[in-house]
Amino acid sequence: MNIKELFLDASKYATSNWTRYVLLGITFVFIDLLDDLAESMAIPPSILIFLLSLFVILVFIQAGYIFRIIETSVEGSNKLPPFNRIKQLFFHGIKDSAVAMTYIFIPIILFLILLDPIMFYLGDNNSLDLTPIVIMIFISMLVVCFIFLQAAIINMAYHKGKIKAAFEFKGIIGQIKNVGLKKFLIVCFLAALIILILEPFIRDSVRSSLDLPSGTLIEILLAPYLSILTSRFLGRMGRKEIR
């Protein structure tokens, strides 16, 4: 399946069940609403703790549903999974988030460990401005870990959500080889573009430029589509039927 076919498949998949689609969209809206409320200085501490707790719960439920999309896509499903077994979604979300955070901390820790040797090596040339070089090294490490994270999530979904599978180097490399390095890198680039740039920009623009009802409606329709798109990409690439 080429990139164009992946987009067509993901779009068709996203609209396979409008009820589940809208439920995910409502979850996004509530998370944003709770985030805004928690930033208000006028809220009493007891209510703030309640709002933050609810915020965290919804974030993990949302993350769990996104992982369920990947997992069921790997299994061969062509329809959005049911938005049920909320407790399972919550714990799936915790596991998925823990894996993501680990892959984020790996380059940070490695960079801090290697920072002194890097500065010592580059410091021999006093004419160099070391800041851009150090930043580029750090960004390169983040990019590599982001790519491995996508393969780790696929491998984790392939093994029914087992955290151990997210750190099995052999299985992760196997997932990349199965898809093809070039295609995998393109999909990772598209995922990064949507997750890190496109989705935050569009959602912030919508919320700031439109009135509350219109902005909420568009967010319900737009936010889940972008998340489903990237999740379906990963799940479709890891599909077991093509093994």
Confidence of residue 130 (pLDDT cuts 50, 70, 90): low
Predicted confidence (pLDDT) per residue in 65-112, tens digit: 999 999 998 888 888 998 888 888 999 899 888 998 998 888 888 878
Q: How far apart are CA 25 and CA 20, in angstroms?
A: 9
3-state helix, strand, coil in the chain (%, to 5): 85, 0, 15
d(CA 24, CA 45): 29
Q: How many domains does the chain have?
A: 1
Q: How far apart are alpha carbons 80 and 21 in whole angstroms? A: 8
Give long-range contacts, CB 8 A cutoff, 24+ apart: 186-193: 186/3, 187/3, 187/6, 187/150, 187/233, 187/234, 187/237, 188/146, 188/147, 188/150, 190/3, 190/230, 190/233, 191/150, 191/230, 191/233, 191/234, 192/146
How does the average pLDDT of the chain come out, rounded? Answer: 81
Digit-coded pLDDT (tens) for 166-182:
898 888 898 888 888 88
Per residue in 14-33, pLDDT tens?
A: 888 888 888 888 888 888 77
pLDDT of residue 129: 58
pTM recorded for the entire structure: 0.82
Average pLDDT over residues 178-199: 81
Domain that holds residue 74: 3-242
Distance from chain centroid for Cα 47: 29
Range name among 44-48, 134-138, 212-216, 233-237 with the lowest pLDDT average: 212-216
Query: What span, in angstroms and rounded, lies between the C-alpha atoms of 42 and 227?
Result: 33
Percent of the chain with pLDDT over 70: 84
- State residue 76 phi and psi, 5-degree precision: 115, 5
